[in-house]
Structure 1
Amino acid sequence: MLFSKGRIGNLELKNRFVMLPTVTNLAQDGFVSSREMEYYNRRAKDVSLVIVEASYVNKFGKFFVNQLGIDDDNKIDGLKKLSYLLHKNGAKAGIQLAMHNPKYKPVDFTREEIEGFIEDFANAAVRAKKAGFDLVELHFAHGWFVNQFLSPDTNKRTDEYGGTFEGRAKFALEILRKVKEYVPDITVICRINASDFTSDGFNIQESIKLSKMLEEDGADGLNISAGVGATAEYHISPMGLDDKPLLELIKRIKDNVNIPIIAANKLGYANDWEKILKDNVADFIGIARGLIGDPDCIAKLKEGNSEDIRYCIHCNQACLAYILKGLPVSCLMNPEVGRELEFQVKTDKSLNIAVIGGGPAGMSAAKYLAKKGHKVELFEKEDKLGGQLNVAKIPPHKEEIGRVIEYLERDLRKYNVSIHLNRKMTIEEIKDLPHDRVIIATGSVPANLNVNMDAFYWAIDVLAGKLPQGQDIIVIGGGLTGLETAEFLAQKGKNITILEAKDEVGDGIFPMIRKLIINRLKKLNVNIITKAKINHISDKKLSYNLEGVEKIQEFDDIVVAVGNKPDATFKELIDDDKYLFIGDCKEVASAVEAIREGAELSLKL
């Protein structure tokens, strides 16, 4: 069914795949940029419909730094080029119309201002039509502006735009009606929450009622998502949530309307997509992150090469996290995102290049250098590739990290990289290598803890299988590795106490991930102590200061997770131009930065 034709309103669609709208931060002052054109060009060939990212209908509703705009007629020419590009690739062209300004609540606006916002949506739809788009999607979800009117926990108005469900739905319905009035021949769909997943928010019962009302007022289809800012894990679900978290709710909406439904959010694998259609849960499969990570995923499926699909691992580290920082969208697995043309360049002078280290930075460098046309050999001291990714995939809910190793290994074979395992290189051997360039990517080692103690475990060793034998375990360090190690041990029945010197644990962790892991630790009864300054450790007792008061914590074993430092084994080579240092051995960072740095190296050689 995935490749059967479908229909939304007056649009006949060539298959059941829809590219969902995802803010890219690739626009320039609200205008379509060349990078944005290439981003969509790379992804539009195989889907039946592309819904271009959330585009602000007025300046007040612009939320992201480099968000696309559809608020003025001067945007039409650029948008026209984009819709033409989508059509040229064989896709129907849609665009999402949106407002978001979390500084304000529904109660802050006069009726006249609300009527003005309705006009802004309708005028934006007129521009979309003039720019050649076949469809507009009205963004009524995710805690954005219109969703705030729908939700009882944010809409405290007492006039006709608040109070009852009908009052809270009035704004959304009037936007839809006005759009249909101004542009009666354009297909209109609405993106709505199946639930806000908040205690007093918009829920599935209200979503079903709204769906029926939207259908009655002319909506041609519904794109079903969920969650608001505080519960964003339900519309861009991370590893910590199981696949297909919304299907039951989507099915309930589907059973209550007669217009097409687009399913969204972590929909699993290709066989799951087919089953969603066969079970009549939805009419279309919406893909967002999956097309960021692998623009060819649908083509691979159609050609019978589904085993080659590079499925999203739902880390959210370079799509959602980057966008919220105001950076252009990227992807841990695909650093080419938004830079497609840069990575198409081939070398006119093939070099012999050696890469020392088979972790994420080394594997990425080897892949992209070979892809560019260089002859590459990779030397890894262990009996397998992946480096610390092999440990990162061990904690609970982190299994998907293992796919990164699989994808990179597949690409190394594809580009004929010569791989040497169990090759622990000495500095003399590296100096004797005949290669034109040598890439040093040996990663990092655990940082020292400036406390004397007789015996302890490194967190990285614990995750690799060296388990403490005792029952009462202290984990020193409340960063991501410390929290994940604590959860790993707690699930094995250990009694865990985390000691962290900072004011809170999880510093630097993406808020969505931090919230989920801390909630899981609470359920496992892990004891978390912050602002703890360690004094000394002896005789199975640890002394620490807590706000000026000495405390004693007894233990059976200690696990240290205080971060890493660059591997300095080959530091004497750092000033020689023949040797290039990348990844953690240069500066400790995340796998996103390591893979991107490895890829970017190919742009320089």
Structure 2
Amino acid sequence: MSENYPHLFRPLDLGYTQLKNRSVMGSMHTGLEDRSKHFPALAKYFEERARGGVALCVTGGFAPNLAGSLLPLGSKLSRSWETGRHAQVTSAVHAHGSKIALQILHAGRYGYTPICVSASAIKSPISMFKPRAISKRGIHKTIRDYANTARLARKAGYDGVEIMGSEGYFINQFLVERTNKRNDEWGGEFENRMRLPVEIVRAVREAAGDDFMIIYRLSMLDLVEGGSTWEEVVTLGKAIEAAGATIINTGIGWHEARIPTIITPVPRAAFTWVTEKIREHIQLPLITSNRINSPDTAEAVLASGQADMISMARPFLADAEFMNKAQAGHPEQINTCIACNQACLDHVFKAKRASCLVNPRACHETEFITKAASSHKNVAVVGAGPAGLSAACELAEMGHKVDLYDRAKATGGQFNLARKIPGKTEFNETVRYFNQRLKAAGVRVHLETEVDVNVLNNGSYDQVVLATGVVPRTPRIDGIDHAKVCSYIDVIENRVPVGERVAVIGAGGIGFDVAELLVHSHSEQTMNITQFNNEWGIDEEYRERGGLKSPIAPHPQKQVTLLQRKTTKVGAGLGKTSGWAHRASLEANQVDMIAGARYDRIDNAGLHITINDKEKRVIACDNVVICAGQESELAIYEPLQQAGIPVHLIGGAHIASELDAKRAIREGLETAIKINEI
């Protein structure tokens, strides 16, 4: 146990085995599961988390048969010969005293394959393929397939399995009438609809034996129309317990739900209330999940008795050493997950390998290998934004002498703007993390310092990393110098008064952020759980199916019009798994979104536009905010080259298209490795 977090580090005795603390690395598909050649990298990925102190790891989902695969030839465990590749994963985890469970996931109608099956032939909104209604014979075979996968998992060295019964996958599709229109013994009354998961758990227990963990991921809050009632959730939970489960995990929301459950604007620990709600009905240990990303939050949840274990998936992507740092009493050293989805879920839903915005090593542990410097160099890093912070920290930790320069009063660069946007306060954590790394690594930080070639020449630097970032681009619009025009930086920094009616030019990520800021106030940076539930329509009383209620409309602070030149849907370039929520938030705040706008002029009447080369309109407004892209800040690049100083461009100074912290931090790491090898 730890004096710092006694509840988080209390072991959990399951009778036949013990978990060393109360942490679970929740299941997340990384893209390493789908091909045998990637299993060494998958083993290294899990090994680092086990070494970092996680008690129980859960793999990404493995299908019990071909029809249940998420992707063509995707991750599956159904043949004995497939166990060999898994053994390297389980042995890597066991070497550090941790346990690991294989998640069995049947995609059902969420499968991106033409052979997908479901309870009924009802197409999902997130797959192009319409499923075939599985036959009764197919159901019985699928139950046997689950048992077979559990048997093989045990053979491969896993300590247990997690049966994915939530998030709208195959089992969920049987549980509710919205996706189960059957009139046989597997449809109709709830007793029939719940039969599938109960028989799966029974079959898995019989196949795997009594000394094998069965975690059941119970959909406690569907958040979709026609979802389960609370009474049905409780009834199923009791039946799963009786059927032989060891632990019940909390599942929140279907993938098609139109309520955000894991992105940054969701309050921390926003759904632990539903785990607590079921405690009086279930005797098994309960795992709670979603938006728990700090040891303090985890400890508070456990201390309050809301759950027995804490599931964190993306926080262990962000920092494999999360638990060790917490146990040592150094939470300030944790690289905190900011719930952006940009490199994890967005990658997975694009069939790319997952990673992490704040930790580009995640899922690339065998590729981004850093070594102690063989020859120590003097390196200047100019610019203390995401790219510069990453490069400076990495270089100094390798053993090089690093000077970090920035003209600003504080480190952080564009992060200092991002963290002022409502719902993005998690960026505070990233700035805090990098600042402590700078100090620990001995980086000499020079703030409020303007750097030129002479300074860098006089410093006798072997290498210079230019991470000077971007400056806002000023579009050519008649009247761009009008008094009502201001830049996004002025608005975010609260440097200028902004009127009640605002036109925002540019609907990229910055345009959306500015619109979000304008409809709220600078003091409304975070929502509490009650405010979040009210705005999105989540009912903690659980009086209706799916836990839904009518949302309470927000009261926007300003009347905002968001415009873009492109004729595509406004916000189409936002993150695949989070963009819809940002659009929905602005729609709820009555933001008018206009695509295909040509900006004709700005005058006292407002912003004059032509839509799709046809309709002319005047947006009456008090202010026009320019969010029309950025340009690289390269004032000293050519002089450095002319002076013969080796220079590396990274981050916004390298590419200024749309601000991209994910790329910036990765380039900082890559450049540090490159310099170290010179």
- Say which of 14, 20, 24 aligns to 1:14: 20
Offset at residue 285 of structure 1 (A)? 1.5
2:467·2:651 contact (CA, 8 Å) conserved in 1? yes
Change (3 A) 1:31 1:343: closer
Does the CA contact (< 8 Å) of 1:23 and 1:67 recur in 2?
no
In structure 2, the partner of 1:563 is 629
* Aligned residue in 1 for 2:592: 527
CA contact 1:317–1:332 (8 Å) conserved in 2 = yes
Tell me the residue number matched to 2:404.
Answer: 378
Counterpart position of 1:596: 666
TM-score by length of 2: 0.85
Q: Give the counterpart letter for 2:490 in structure 1.
A: D
Match for residue 491 of structure 2 among 462, 485, 498: 462
3-state SS of 1:353 partner:
strand
**What is the aligned counterpart of 2:560 among 486, 496, 500?**
496
Residue of structure 2 in register with 1:546 after alignment:
611
Letter in 2 for 1:470: G
Q: Which amino acid aligns with 1:525?
A: Q
Three-state SS of the structure 2 residue aligned to 1:52 is: strand
Cα displacement string for residues 483-531 of structure 1 (whole angstroms, at most 9, x for unaligned residues): 2212212224332222222332212111443222223223332222222
Matched, 1:36 2:42: yes
Quick one: structure 1 residues 564 and 70, their matched pair in 2 at CA, closer, same or farther if it must change by over 3 Å? same
User: Separation in 2 of the partners of 1:52 and 1:195?
Assistant: 23
Per-residue CA deviation, residues 23-42 of structure 1 (Å, 9 max, x unaligned), is 12123525662211111111
Change (3 A) 1:255 1:67: farther
Paired residues of 1:30 and 1:67 also in contact (CA < 8 A): no
Higher relative contact order (CA 8 A, sep 6+): 2
Once the two structures are TM-superposed, the CA of residue 203 in structure 1 deviates from its matched residue by 4.1
Q: More deviation in 462-471 or 70-79?
A: 462-471
- Equivalents in 2 of 1:525, 1:483: separation in Å? 13
CA RMSD between the two structures: 2.1
**How far, CA to CA, are the matches of 1:269 and 1:579 in structure 2?**
38
Q: Secondary structure at the residue paired with 1:121?
A: helix
**Mean Cα deviation higher: 184-193 or 24-33:** 24-33
Counterpart of 1:43 in 2: which secondary structure?
helix
Residue among 499, 503, 510 paired with 1:481: 510
Map of 1:388 onto structure 2: 414
| 1:422 and 2:448 are equivalent in the alignment | yes
Counterpart position of 1:92 = 99
Answer yes or no: is the 8 Å Cα contact 2:260–2:581 preserved in 1. Answer: no
Contact 2:473 2:629 in 1 (8 A): yes
Shift of 1:218: 1.3
Farther-moved stretch of structure 1 (10-19 vs 289-298): 10-19
Structure 2's unaligned 5+ residue stretches are 1-6, 121-132, 522-556
Aligned to 1:210: 236
- 1:247 paired residue number: 272
Change (3 A) 1:408 1:278: closer
Question: In the superposition, relative to structure 1, how do residues 205 and 30 fare at CA in structure 2: closer, same or farther (>3 Å)?
Answer: farther
SS at match of 1:191: strand
1:58: how far off?
2.0
Query: What residue identity is the alignment partner of 1:559?
Result: V
User: How far apart in 2 are the matches of 1:518 and 1:124?
Assistant: 41
Hey, what's the Cα distance between the residues in 2 that align with 1:309 and 1:65?
37
Q: For residues 181-580 of structure 1, what are the structure 2 equivalents within 5 Å?
A: 181-185=206-210, 186-231=212-257, 237-267=262-292, 269-341=294-366, 342-453=368-479, 454-455=481-482, 456-492=485-521, 493-502=557-566, 503-547=568-612, 548-572=614-638, 573=640, 578-580=646-648
Listed one character per residue, the Cα deviations across residues 160-216 of structure 1 (whole Å, up to 9, x for unaligned) are 222221222122122112112222232212112111101212343322111011111
For 2:559, the aligned partner's letter is N
Q: 1 CA distance for matches of 2:77 and 2:316?
A: 24
Quick check: 142-151 or 129-138, which moved more? 142-151
Number of residue pairs the alignment of both structures matches: 604
* In structure 1, C-alpha distance between the alignment counterparts of 2:322 and 2:139, rounded to whole Å: 42
**C-alpha spacing 1:436/1:307, structure 2 compared with 1 (3 Å):** closer
Which deviates more from structure 2 when the two are superposed, residues 338-347 or residues 223-232? 338-347
Distance (Å, rounded) in 2 between the aligned partners of 1:459 and 1:234? 26
| 1:413, distance to aligned residue in structure 2 (A) | 1.1
Quote the Cα distance in structure 1 between the aligned partners of 2:260 and 2:610: 40
CA distance in 2 between counterparts of 1:256 and 1:28 reads 38
Q: Is the 8 A contact 1:225 1:234 kept in 2?
A: no
Counterpart residue type for residue 106 of structure 1: A
SS in 2 for 1:42: helix
Between stretches 489-498 and 442-451, larger displacement belongs to 489-498
| Residue identity in the other structure for 1:520 | S
Q: Under a length normalisation based on structure 1, what TM-score does the superposition of the two structures give? A: 0.95
Q: For 2:119, which of 97, 102, 106 is the aligned residue? A: 106
Query: What is aligned with 1:51?
Result: 58
407-416 or 492-501: which moved more?
A: 492-501
Q: Distance in 2 between matches of 1:193 and 1:9?
A: 26
SS at 1:47's partner residue? coil
Segment of structure 1 superposing worse, 280-289 or 19-28? 19-28
Which whole-Å CA distance do the structure 1 matches of 2:260 and 2:230 have between them?
13
Taking the aligned partners of 1:33 and 1:126, their CA distance within structure 2 comes to: 20
Q: 1:556 to 1:167 in 2, by over 3 A?
A: same
Gaps (5+ residues) in structure 1? none
Structure 1 residue aligned with 2:650: 582
1:381 alignment partner AA: R
Q: Report whether the alignment pairs 1:60 with 2:73.
A: no
Contact 1:459 1:559 in 2 (8 A): yes
